[in-house]
């Protein structure tokens, strides 16, 4: 039987007139209702919502931890296999004659800034410090928490959470969306990536459900990032002399949360109105330059050799241990305080939480990566999206986190850094480094970090608003109605505020872990769909059947 041409037409009904003109009413309205209900529930019934979310989170961690661990390992394998597979690796994410729209520097800047850059300012210091104190090896008694023999373990686990696994989640989503949108001519929306499995049925309710799941996951995943960022932003404002924003325990006050969200979401909404090629591109370039400056400060004036050792030895340990760390699932024996209980608890707090975070972030970052990667080959995309940003994260962790550990071990910090709140650790560290020289320098560095943090947060937030609108508009990348951009900007800010009020960042974490679960299933289907499409395209080429949606071609029925 002759092989059929690929599907190159997936009609998605959008409104022709009125407030929702150009938008899929089913996806947009239902997504708005779900997010609005979450906001109202979290703000007006904070105790009840916190209790329910925590109960659901406990159930998911108890029953789906293995799913999260193994599914992310599967994403890494699929990405690497597609890059190695000759038939797949040479394919362009676009028509054969198309070239990349952005330079490599802008491409990496936008990829890093929107994907993970904001996390570096919190976790590049906080996470190595946390694992230096406790990790599976300390639980097993193989190393000593807070001692020199635990440094390598701290970096092995830090690299796991921010390395190839994280970017494989983004890579799968980005590859699928770019392949089916730019090679097949299908709408740039999540449902298009599943057409080899479900065909034109995705034009109807099934496709609507998939896109709604993606929108909700995106809002919750970005809310997680903004939640951490808001707390750090408030800590930074306090460090540069703005009072009344931090309570006695070092956390953000209600006033601090509100001010930070108004500033960040106001700037991000204005940036979103200008589009990807203007506001987001320039912001990404600015925060890349500022982050290189800050990182250079840690490399030159921080723990230069300690950081170099952490980088290269940690990378070696990470690569060797990656298969075991990626596949191992610890089961609790139910005995509180036992080794098995503590290992399972630690895995829920760290890898499972992170895998849920990256999966929830994947529709946003994936669609954004697809948007900025048109014209690149699959192999170029995988190597660029998995390896380069991961190495950038490793460099940050090695020298920023390494400086913190070295100052505490050998530099006389005496808990100044370790005892600070996670978001405040980088400020505490730079102040400790610079205050002996000049308080003005310490203040100037704190200001630079606040500006850099804001550009990262604005880049993430405005990118998310544009991505959500693209999904709601059936993949239309063109200008969107301003009221919808304003709505999603406000909604994102209210989700962060509501969940912070109802239970702090832990409430955001819980909501995000719950929201990521259904989208993880969609991502597994994306993998099989992409593999099936590429395999069938090889057969089509051999049979002389077109595989591309040329601009002048008539869509296949």
The C-alpha angle with vertex 474 and arms to 168 and 518, in degrees rounded to 5, equals 45
CATH number for 27-539 (one of 2.60.40.10, 1.10.3470.10, 1.20.1740.10, 3.40.50.2000): it is 1.20.1740.10
End-to-end CA distance of the chain: 17
Give the separation between CA 199 and CA 212, rounded to whole angstroms. 18
Give how far Cα 94 sits from Cα of 185, 369, 545, 549, Å: 9, 13, 17, 9
Give how far Cα 256 sits from Cα of 109, 230, 490, 525, Å: 29, 9, 17, 42
For residue 288, give every residue at least 6 positions away whose Cβ sits within 8 Å of its Cβ, in sequence order, or none. 105, 108, 109, 112, 113, 117
- The pLDDT score that the predictor gives to residue 554 is 38
- The pLDDT score that the predictor gives to residue 557 is 33
Q: 514: phi > 0 → left, psi -120 to 50 → alpha, else beta; which?
A: alpha
The number of residues in the chain equals 557
pTM exceeds cut of 0.75: yes
- The pLDDT score that the predictor gives to residue 278 is 54
Give the separation between CA 56 and CA 356, rounded to whole angstroms. 14
For residue 17, give every residue at least 6 positions away whose Cβ sits within 8 Å of its Cβ, in sequence order, or none. none
How many other CB atoms are found less than 10 A from the CB of residue 22?
Answer: 18
Q: Which residues of 458-481 are buried (b: 16+ CB within 10 A; e: fewer)?
A: bbbbbbbbbbbbbbbbbbbbeebe
- The pLDDT score that the predictor gives to residue 553 is 43
C-alpha torsion sign, points 228, 233, 239, 243:
negative
- Beta-bridge mates of residue 377: 92
Give the separation between CA 230 and CA 251, rounded to whole angstroms. 11
H-helix segments, 85-117: 86-89, 104-112
For each successive 10 residues of the chain (557 residues), what is the average pLDDT?
Answer: 82 89 92 87 77 79 88 96 91 88 78 66 90 95 93 95 93 94 91 94 95 89 79 86 74 79 78 58 72 90 93 96 94 88 91 90 84 91 87 92 93 88 90 84 90 80 82 76 79 79 68 84 96 92 83 42
Give the separation between CA 216 and CA 195, rounded to whole angstroms. 21
- The pLDDT score that the predictor gives to residue 353 is 87
How many other CB atoms are found less than 10 A from the CB of residue 536?
Answer: 16
């Amino acid at each position: 039987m002759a092989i059929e041409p690929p599907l190159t037409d997936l009609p998605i009904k959008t409104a022709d007139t009125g407030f929702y003109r150009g938008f899929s009413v089913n996806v947009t309205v239902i997504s708005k209702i779900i997010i609005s209900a979450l906001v109202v529930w979290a703000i007006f019934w904070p105790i009840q919502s916190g209790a329910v979310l925590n109960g659901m989170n406990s159930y998911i961690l108890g029953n789906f931890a293995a799913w999260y661990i193994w599914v992310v390992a599967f994403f890494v394998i699929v990405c690497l296999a597609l890059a190695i597979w000759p038939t797949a690796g040479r394919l362009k994410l676009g028509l054969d004659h198309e070239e990349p729209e952005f330079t490599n520097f802008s491409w990496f800047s936008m990829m890093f800034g929107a994907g993970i850059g904001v996390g570096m300012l919190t976790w590049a210091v906080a996470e190595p410090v946390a694992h230096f104190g406790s990790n599976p090896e300390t639980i097993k008694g193989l190393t000593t928490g807070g001692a020199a023999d635990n440094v390598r373990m701290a970096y092995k686990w830090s690299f796991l959470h921010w390395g190839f696994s994280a970017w494989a989640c983004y890579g799968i989503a980005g590859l699928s969306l770019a392949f089916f949108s730019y090679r097949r001519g299908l709408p740039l929306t999540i449902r298009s990536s599943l057409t080899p499995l479900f065909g034109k049925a995705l034009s109807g309710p099934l496709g609507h459900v998939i896109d709604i799941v993606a929108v909700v996951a995106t809002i919750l995943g970005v809310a997680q990032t903004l939640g951490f960022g808001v707390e750090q932003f408030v800590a930074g404002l306090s460090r540069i002399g703005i009072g009344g924003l931090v309570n006695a325990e070092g956390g953000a006050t209600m006033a601090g949360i509100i001010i930070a969200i108004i500033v960040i979401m106001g700037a991000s909404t204005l940036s979103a109105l200008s589009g990807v090629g203007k506001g987001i591109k320039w912001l990404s370039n600015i925060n890349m330059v500022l982050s290189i400056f800050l990182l250079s400060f840690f490399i030159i004036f921080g723990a230069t050799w300690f950081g170099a050792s952490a980088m290269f030895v940690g990378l070696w340990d990470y690569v060797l241990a990656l298969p075991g760390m990626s596949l191992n699932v610890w089961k609790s024996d139910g005995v509180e305080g036992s080794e098995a209980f503590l290992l399972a608890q630690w895995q829920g707090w760290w890898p499972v939480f992170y895998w849920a975070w990256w999966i929830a972030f994947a529709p946003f970052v994936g669609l954004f990566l697809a948007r900025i990667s048109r014209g690149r080959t699959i192999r170029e995309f995988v190597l660029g999206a998995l390896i380069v940003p991961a190495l950038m994260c490793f460099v940050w962790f090695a020298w920023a986190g390494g400086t913190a550990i070295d100052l505490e071990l050998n530099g006389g910090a005496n808990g100044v850094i370790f005892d600070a709140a996670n978001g405040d650790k980088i400020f505490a560290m730079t102040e400790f480094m610079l205050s002996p020289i000049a308080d003005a320098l310490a203040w100037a560095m704190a200001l630079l970090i606040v500006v850099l943090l804001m550009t990262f947060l604005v880049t993430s937030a405005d990118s998310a608003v544009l991505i959500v609108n693209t999904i709601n508009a059936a993949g239309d990348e063109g200008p969107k109605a301003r009221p919808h951009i304003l709505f999603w900007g406000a909604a994102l800010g209210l989700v962060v505020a509501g969940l912070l009020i109802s239970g702090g960042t832990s409430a955001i974490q819980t909501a995000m872990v719950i929201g990521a679960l259904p989208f993880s299933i969609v991502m597994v289907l994306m993998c099989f769909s992409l593999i099936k499409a590429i395999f069938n395209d090889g057969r089509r080429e051999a049979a002389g059947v077109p595989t591309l949606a040329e601009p002048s071609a008539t869509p296949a029925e």
